[in-house]
Amino acid sequence: MVMKSTLLFLSRQEKLKNFVLGFEFAQRVSRRFVSGETQEQAIQAVKELNQKGFLTTLDRLGENVTNKEEAVKAADDYLLLLDKISQNGVGSNVSCKLTQMGLDLDFDFCFNNVKRIVERAKGHDNFVRIDMEDSPRTDKTLQICFALHREYQNVGAVIQSYLYRSEEDVRRLLEQKIRIRLCKGAYKEPKTVAFRKKKEVDENFVKLMKQMLKSGVYHGIATHDDKMIQATIDFAKKENITKESYEFQFLYGIRRELQEELVKQGYNVRIYVPYGDQWYPYFMRRMAERPANLFFVAKNFFRR
C-alpha cells in the first residue's frame, strides 16, 4: 500500500516527469506498456494484435491539459486516428480521457470536443469509450457520457470497483443500456469515497460484474487478476451467458501469456493500446497497480 501511494504521488510530479523523460532507458522500458509515440506505430501494433485474434482500443496518452489549444489538438488527433483505423481496416475502437479534452477548463467546451469524436466514430461505425479518472471528476464524466449516449449510442463508460458509489452508477448506466468497462481503479482516493482493502475492492468487483453480465448488454471486464477472471468465467457458465456476450480487457504488455490463453479458449479479449509521448503518468500508474511490473523494470535496469 505504501509503495502504491508513493508511485501514484510520483506520477503527478512534473519535475520528475521531465527528468525521467530525458533517459533513453526509461523510454525503452516504457515500450512494454506503450505501443509507440506516433499513430503509425500504434496502428502497426493493432495490426499485429488483430492477427493474433485480439480486439483493441487505442488511447492517445495525455491528461489535465492546461489550455484549450491543447484540448482541441487532442480531439483533432482522435478524428485523424478514427480515419486511420477505418482506412487501415483494423479492429479497434478508441478511448479518451476528458481532462485531455478540457474538462477542467470548461464543461461545455469539453463536451463539444468529445462530441466531435463520437460523431466521427459514428460515421465510421466505431465506438468511443470515455475513460474514468479520479473521483472529483466522476459526476461530470458520467454526465457527458449519458448525454452523448442519448444522441449517438456509440459511447460507453468506465466504472471503478474501489468507489463506494459504483453500484449505483452501474444501475443507472444499465438502465440506459450503456456499455461499461469494469476495472478496479488506479487513482489515489480518500477513504471517504473508496474502499481501502483489496478484499473489499474485489468483492465489489465481483458484485458489479454479475450485475453487468446479467443485463444483456455487451460489457468489458478489465482485470489482470486471476481470481476476478475465474469468478467471471464461473458466473457466466452458471448463468448460461455465452462467451460472445462479453469481453475481457487487458492493458498492452501486461500478462501477455494469459491474454493469448483466453483467446485460445474462445473468449473475446480486447487490449488497451496507448500511444504518444505523454507516457510518464500512465507508466507510473501501471507500476502502482501491479508490483510485478516494477520488478520487470528493475530487472531490465540491471541489464542495461
DSSP assignment string, 243-303? GGGEEEEEETTSSHHHHHHHHHTT-EEEEEEEESS--HHHHHHHHHH-HHHHHHHHHHHTT
Is residue 294 included in any domain, yes or no?
no
Ramachandran quadrant class, 188 (left: phi over 0; alpha: psi -120 to 50; beta: rest): beta
Is residue 7 included in any domain, yes or no?
no
Is residue 17 included in any domain, yes or no?
no
Residues above pLDDT 90, as percent of the chain: 76
- Does the pLDDT of residue 264 top 70, yes or no? yes
Higher pLDDT pick, 282 / 101: 101
Q: Which of 60, 181, 255, 285 is catalytic?
A: 181
Q: Which of 59, 104, 131, 202 is catalytic?
A: 131
- Does the pLDDT of residue 296 top 60, yes or no? no
- Residue 39, domain extent: 34-278
Q: What pLDDT is stored for residue 11 in this prediction?
A: 43
Is residue 22 included in any domain, yes or no?
no
Is residue 66 included in any domain, yes or no?
yes
- CATH number at 184 reads 3.20.20.220
Q: What pLDDT is stored for residue 27 in this prediction?
A: 55
Ramachandran quadrant class, 213 (left: phi over 0; alpha: psi -120 to 50; beta: rest): alpha
Domain count, the chain: 1
178-206 average pLDDT score: 95
The mean-pLDDT minimum among 166-170, 239-243, 267-271, 294-298 falls in 294-298
Annotated active-site residue 181? The verdict is yes
Is residue 274 included in any domain, yes or no?
yes
Report pLDDT digits (tens) over 10-54.
445 455 444 455 545 455 556 678 898 899 999 999 999 999 999
Is residue 103 included in any domain, yes or no?
yes
Higher pLDDT pick, 302 / 83: 83
Scan for cell 492477427, then name that residue: 51
